[in-house]
Structure 1
Amino acid sequence: MRRLRPIGLMAIGHACVDVYQGAVPALVPFLVAERGLGYVAVSGITLAATLLSSVVQPVFGVLTDRRPLTWLIPVSMTTAGLGIALLGIGDSYLLSWLAAALSGLGVAAYHPEAARMARAVSGGSHVGMSWFSVGGNVGFALAPVLVTPIMAVGGLALTPVLVVPALVGALITTLAVRSGVSRVAASRMGRPGTDDWSSFLRLSVIMVCRSIVFVGLGTFIALYAGERVGGGTTTGGAALFVLFAAGAFGTLLGGRLATRYGRIRTMRTSYGVAVPAIAGLVFVPGPLFFVFLTLTAIALSIPFSLHVTLGRDFLPGRVGTAGGMTLGLAVSIGGVATPLLGTIAEHSSLRLALSTLIALTLTSCLLGYFLDEPAPQ
Structure 2
Amino acid sequence: MQTATKHISPDTAVTSGVETTGFRVLGAISFAHFLNDMIQSLILSIYPLLKGNFNLNFAQIGLITLTYQITASILQPVVGIYTDKHPKPYSLALGMGFTLVGLLLLSIAPNYGLILLAAALVGTGSSIFHPESSRVARMASGGRHGLAQSIFQVGGNAGSSMGPLLAAWIIIPHGQTSIAWFSVAALLAIGILWQIGNWYKRKRQEATAKPAKSGHAHVLLPRKKVVLSISILLLLIFSKYFYMASLSSYFTFYLMSKFHLSVQDAQIHLFIFLFAVATGTVLGGPIGDKLGRKLVIWVSILGVAPFTLMLPYANLFWTSVLSVIIGVILASAFSAILVFAQELVPGKIGTVSGLFFGFAFGMGGIGAAALGKLADLTDIYFVYQVCSYLPLLGLAAAFLPNLEKLPHEVS
Same fold (TM over 0.5): yes
Question: Residue 73 of structure 2 aligns to which amino acid in structure 1?
Answer: S
Find the aligned partners of 1:73 and 1:124 in 2 and give their Cα distance.
Answer: 23
Does 2:49 align with 1:30? yes
Which of 157, 168, 180 matches 1:160?
180
Find the aligned partners of 1:315 and 1:361 in 2 and give their Cα distance.
Answer: 26
The 1:75/1:105 distance shift into structure 2, 3 A limit, reads: same
The 1:236/1:317 distance shift into structure 2, 3 A limit, reads: same
Which of 387, 391, 399 matches 1:357?
387
Deviation (angstroms), 1:352 = 0.8
CA contact 1:61–1:321 (8 Å) conserved in 2: yes
Question: Residue 158 of structure 1 aligns to which amino acid in structure 2?
Answer: S
Task: Tell me the alpha carbon deviations over residues 131-174 of structure 1, each in whole angstroms, 9 at most, x when there is no partner.
Answer: 11111111111112223322122211222222222211111121
Deviation (angstroms), 1:324 = 0.7
Which of 72, 83, 108 matches 1:64?
83
Find the aligned partners of 2:104 and 2:273 in 1 and give their Cα distance.
Answer: 23
CA contact 1:270–1:300 (8 Å) conserved in 2: yes
Find the aligned partners of 1:112 and 1:192 in 2 and give their Cα distance.
Answer: 22
Structure 1 or 2, whichever has the larger Rg, is: 2
Alignment of 1:7-156 (within 5 A): 7-125=26-144, 126-156=146-176
CA contact 1:86–1:159 (8 Å) conserved in 2: no
Aligned twin of 1:177:
197
CA contact 2:102–2:118 (8 Å) conserved in 1: yes
CA contact 1:53–1:105 (8 Å) conserved in 2: yes
Aligned twin of 1:222:
252
Find the aligned partners of 1:286 and 1:104 in 2 and give their Cα distance.
Answer: 33
Find the aligned partners of 1:185 and 1:314 in 2 and give their Cα distance.
Answer: 24
Task: Tell me the alpha carbon deviations over residues 51-90 of structure 1, each in whole angstroms, 9 at most, x when there is no partner.
Answer: 1111111111110110211111011012123213312423
Find the aligned partners of 2:387 and 2:176 in 1 and give their Cα distance.
Answer: 30
Task: Tell me the alpha carbon deviations over residues 340-360 of structure 1, each in whole angstroms, 9 at most, x when there is no partner.
Answer: 111111111101112222222
Deviation (angstroms), 1:208 = 2.2
Alignment of 1:295-314 (within 5 A): 295-314=325-344
Aligned residue-pair number: 374
Does 2:262 align with 1:232? yes
CA contact 1:200–1:315 (8 Å) conserved in 2: no
Question: Residue 277 of structure 1 aligns to which amino acid in structure 2?
Answer: F
Does 2:343 align with 1:343? no
Give the stretch that moved more between structures: 253-262 or 45-54: 253-262
Give the stretch that moved more between structures: 157-166 or 107-116: 157-166
Task: Tell me the alpha carbon deviations over residues 312-332 of structure 1, each in whole angstroms, 9 at most, x when there is no partner.
Answer: 111113111111123333234
CA contact 2:26–2:140 (8 Å) conserved in 1: yes
Q: For structure 1, which runs of at least 5 residues remain unmatched after alignment?
A: none
CA contact 2:284–2:336 (8 Å) conserved in 1: yes
- Provide TM-score, normalisation by structure 2: 0.86
Task: Tell me the alpha carbon deviations over residues 24-50 of structure 1, each in whole angstroms, 9 at most, x when there is no partner.
Answer: 210111112222211111111111111
Which of 316, 340, 343 matches 1:286?
316
Aligned twin of 1:366:
395
Does 2:307 align with 1:277? yes
Which of 323, 328, 347 matches 2:358?
328
Find the aligned partners of 2:167 and 2:202 in 1 and give their Cα distance.
Answer: 36
Question: Residue 154 of structure 2 aligns to which amino acid in structure 1?
Answer: V
Does 2:290 align with 1:255? no
Task: Tell me the alpha carbon deviations over residues 190-230 of structure 1, each in whole angstroms, 9 at most, x when there is no partner.
Answer: x7856723311221121122111112310001111212333
Question: Residue 265 of structure 1 aligns to which amino acid in structure 2?
Answer: L
The 1:177/1:88 distance shift into structure 2, 3 A limit, reads: closer
Q: Secondary structure at the match of 1:287?
A: helix
Find the aligned partners of 1:221 and 1:317 in 2 and give their Cα distance.
Answer: 39
Find the aligned partners of 2:37 and 2:201 in 1 and give their Cα distance.
Answer: 21
CA contact 1:70–1:177 (8 Å) conserved in 2: yes
CA contact 2:237–2:359 (8 Å) conserved in 1: no
Find the aligned partners of 1:60 and 1:279 in 2 and give their Cα distance.
Answer: 38
- The structure with the largest helix share of the pair is 1
Find the aligned partners of 1:2 and 1:225 in 2 and give their Cα distance.
Answer: 42
Question: Residue 290 of structure 1 aligns to which amino acid in structure 2?
Answer: S
Between the aligned residues of both structures, percent identity stands at 26
Deviation (angstroms), 1:105 = 0.8
Q: For structure 2, which runs of at least 5 residues remain unmatched after alignment?
A: 1-19
Find the aligned partners of 2:261 and 2:175 in 1 and give their Cα distance.
Answer: 18
Find the aligned partners of 2:154 and 2:174 in 1 and give their Cα distance.
Answer: 30
- Provide TM-score, normalisation by structure 1: 0.93
Find the aligned partners of 2:189 and 2:32 in 1 and give their Cα distance.
Answer: 5
Give the stretch that moved more between structures: 248-257 or 329-338: 329-338
Question: Residue 236 of structure 2 aligns to which amino acid in structure 1?
Answer: I
Find the aligned partners of 1:70 and 1:86 in 2 and give their Cα distance.
Answer: 27
Q: Secondary structure at the match of 2:361?
A: helix
The 1:270/1:86 distance shift into structure 2, 3 A limit, reads: same
